[in-house]
Amino acid sequence: MAAGIYWWAILAVLLGIERLTERAFPTFWQTRIDPWFTPARRKQALIVFALVAFFVANFRAWDQQREAKEEAIAKQGKTVLDPSALYQHGFPVASIIEPQIDVRNGSILFPAVTASRELELGSEFEFRTWHLICSGEPGSMMTFGAMRQITYLNFTCRIEGTR
What CA–CA distance (Å, rounded) separates 54 from 49? 9
Element (H, E) at 162: strand 147-162
Q: State the pLDDT at residue 100.
A: 93
pTM assigned to the model? 0.52
Nearest to 121 by CA among 107, 134, 140, 109: 134
Q: Quick check: 1 pLDDT over 60? A: no
Using DSSP bridges, classify how beta strands 130-135 and 147-162 pair: parallel, antiparallel or unpaired.
antiparallel
DSSP E strands, 85-144: 85-88, 91-97, 100-102, 107-115, 125-127, 130-135, 138-144
Q: What is the pLDDT of residues 10-57, one digit of tens each?
A: 777 877 888 888 888 888 888 888 888 888 888 888 888 778 877 777
Q: What is the pLDDT of residues 65-101, one digit of tens each?
A: 888 888 887 777 666 778 889 999 888 999 998 999 9
